[in-house]
Amino acid sequence: MSQRPDWSRPPLRPAPVPRESDAPVRVLIVDDSTFMRHVITRELTADQRIAVVGAARNGIEAIAMARELQPDVITLDIEMPQLDGLGALPRILEACQARVIMLSSNEGIGRANTVRALELGAVDFILKPAGSISPNLGSIREMLLRAVHNAASARVRRTPAAPTALVAPRKMLSSGGRMPARRLVIIGSSTGGPQALTAVIPHLPADLDAGVVVVQHMPPGFTTSLAARLDDLSAVPVREAAAGDTVMTGEVLIAPGDHHLCFIAEGGALKIKLDQGPRVHGVRPAVDVTLASAAEVAEGRVACVILTGMGRDGTAGAAAIHAAGGWVLAQNEATCVIYGMPRCVIEAGLATEVVPLDDMAGRIVAYLNGAARKRVS
């Protein structure tokens, strides 16, 4: 990535209109299907805390209505005629301060486009029901309502329209040239995580003296697309983890959706173990599971990074890392989309440092180089 997001620059869009805490969340629905617009409206308006203020049939209408209505939240379909959701998203974010939730299909191109949308500033996504026409959205009603309410409290972050890879040598080391990692960096994230990860992983150097494991709350398949996108942007190789993988120096592994990721110490190396044990905090993979496993086997050679996300996943794991003599970084409130996971870590007194997102990669490298060891209160 040749240029980092600059949170200090004023957004090129109207200032948000303050919304009373007890006022309903104003939602704009964008979908080319009349039936889907009707069903989404029906599901949302069943909640008295939500008001549907409009419905658009394509990206062109969505941009105009976003500018006119200034909604709090927009549900945005990806596949639409004239202008699709991915093309409309940057212009919508310029037109208003709405938080955008993508409606995605669980297919190869749909997953890749969803990851790209999250990178560009969408705060969340939900999967559309299987099939071109579904009799109702009852199967995702709870997810839809939760996503809208969570999005209403999220921050909107500006990001470059077309992130590019760093102008640094990429993937100079072949898999045969890398060594089993002596040190481990674990990054945990949830809502807002894909965008945050594009501000961290591409800024790690190709000669990073540690293995990196990322636990991002995502369904199966989407973590594959996330790994591919980060690999395109980064100097370090990035791929989805597989059972039996050895954690290698200068390589990033993404925990696969619907699997907890743990570690096994074997012959002086750390190997990946995947399982589908019970969900923790309602998610799988869970950050706490991976951190607790690392604290047991890595003998204090672990740094953990807790990025934006809803809930408290990562707090118990950070406590285990802290107790084992590891190092804990937490993203600061001002740069989080959702200040939940980092806040819990910070309020528990576990953070070695509280770091703005744009500085996170530099602080990881500083820790590995021995320049940042002092705990902060």
Q: Which domain holds residue 294?
A: 184-368
Indicate the pLDDT class of residue 13, thresholds 50, 70 and 90. very low
Sign of CA dihedral 187, 189, 192, 194: positive
245 with 311, same domain: the answer is yes
- Return the pLDDT at 110: 84
Q: What angle do CA 365, 369, 375 make, to 5 degrees?
A: 85
> Is residue 34 over pLDDT 90?
yes
- Return the pLDDT at 277: 96
Cα(30)–Cα(363) distance, rounded to whole angstroms?
A: 40
In the block, residue with structure tokens 């909107």: 156
How do beta strands 124-127 and 184-189 pair?
unpaired
Q: Write out the two tokens for 122.
A: 């969408």
Which of the residue ranges 297-301, 337-341, 357-361 would you say has the lowest mean pLDDT? 297-301
- In this structure, is residue 114 part of a structural domain? yes
Indicate the pLDDT class of residue 364, thresholds 50, 70 and 90. very high
C-alpha distances (whole Å) from 162 to each of 1, 158, 188, 198, 208 are: 9, 12, 25, 12, 25
194 vs 160, residue with greater confidence: 194
123 with 190, same domain: the answer is no
How do beta strands 269-275 and 260-266 pair?
antiparallel
CATH number at residue 333: 3.40.50.180
- In this structure, is residue 206 part of a structural domain? yes
CATH number at residue 65: 3.40.50.2300
Indicate the pLDDT class of residue 159, thresholds 50, 70 and 90. low
- Return the pLDDT at 158: 61
Indicate the pLDDT class of residue 131, thresholds 50, 70 and 90. low
147 with 275, same domain: the answer is no
Q: Are 88 and 60 in contact (CB under 8 A)?
A: yes
Which of the residue ranges 108-122, 252-266, 306-320 would you say has the lowest mean pLDDT? 108-122
Mean pLDDT of 291-316: 94
- In this structure, is residue 347 part of a structural domain? yes
- Nearest-10 crossing angle of helices 85-95, 59-69: 20
Mean pLDDT of 173-201: 88
Q: Residues 57-67: pLDDT tens digits?
A: 999 999 999 99
Indicate the pLDDT class of residue 139, thresholds 50, 70 and 90. low
- Quote the percentage of the chain above a pLDDT of 90: 76
Query: Nearest to residue 301, comparing CAs of 214, 370, 224, 200?
Result: 370
> Is residue 232 over pLDDT 90?
yes
Mean pLDDT of 274-294: 97
318 vs 128, residue with greater confidence: 318
**Furthest-apart CA atoms within the chain: distance in Å:** 63
> Is residue 287 over pLDDT 90?
yes
Q: Are 261 and 213 in contact (CB under 8 A)?
A: yes
C-alpha distances (whole Å) from 82 to each of 60, 62, 86, 375 are: 7, 11, 12, 54
What is the CB neighbour count within 10 angstroms for residue 169?
11
What is the CB neighbour count within 10 angstroms for residue 167?
9
96 with 194, same domain: the answer is no
266 with 209, same domain: the answer is yes
- In this structure, is residue 286 part of a structural domain? yes
Indicate the pLDDT class of residue 250, thresholds 50, 70 and 90. very high
133 with 261, same domain: the answer is no
232 with 144, same domain: the answer is no
- In this structure, is residue 373 part of a structural domain? no
What is the CB neighbour count within 10 angstroms for residue 134?
15
Q: Residues 148-158: pLDDT tens digits?
A: 999 999 987 66
138 with 202, same domain: the answer is no
124 with 207, same domain: the answer is no
Indicate the pLDDT class of residue 268, thresholds 50, 70 and 90. confident
Q: Number of folded domains in the chain? A: 2
- In this structure, is residue 374 part of a structural domain? no
51 with 123, same domain: the answer is yes
Q: Residues 101-124: pLDDT tens digits?
A: 999 877 778 899 999 999 999 999
193 with 136, same domain: the answer is no
- In this structure, is residue 158 part of a structural domain? no
- In this structure, is residue 175 part of a structural domain? no
Mean pLDDT of 205-234: 96
147 with 193, same domain: the answer is no
Query: Could you list the active site residues?
Result: 190, 217, 313
